[in-house]
Amino acid sequence: MIIQQLNIIKKTGFARPATLLVSLAHKYKSDISLEYKGETISLKHSVKSIMDILASGIKPGCNIYIKAIGTDEVRAIQSIKDCLIEKDIIHS
């Protein structure tokens, strides 16, 4: 199991980042989830995952946690982190 803390810097809506997180999670066999304010959201349920992320109220300056459990957990976490940095959603 790997847990990565990420600090959100994106100042506009979180719909695209939510869609991106779910899309990236589907590329890996590991179970991947987002944790925010004590709530855990599985990133493997497509539309439900996106709606749950949006409903969580993630804002700029907040810390979220991405957790991966599985055979490709290291690659999954690194890929998600790299993509979010590239899209200026989190700090490097």
pLDDT in tens, 18-41: 999 999 999 999 999 999 999 999
pTM: 0.92
**Pairwise CA distance, residues 69 & 67, whole Å:** 7
- pLDDT for 13: 80
CB within 8 A of 42, min separation 6: which ones?
A: 31, 32, 33, 49
The CA distances from residue 69 to 20, 32, 42, 84, in Å, are 19, 7, 12, 20
Parse the chain into domains and list their residue ranges: 2-86
Query: In which band, very low, low, confident or very high, does the pLDDT at 7 lie, cut at 50, 70 and 90?
Result: very high
| Tens-digit pLDDT profile for residues 30-80 | 999 999 999 999 999 989 999 999 999 999 999 999 999 999 999 999 999
**Pairwise CA distance, residues 77 & 72, whole Å:** 9
Is 2-86 CATH 3.90.230.10? Answer: no
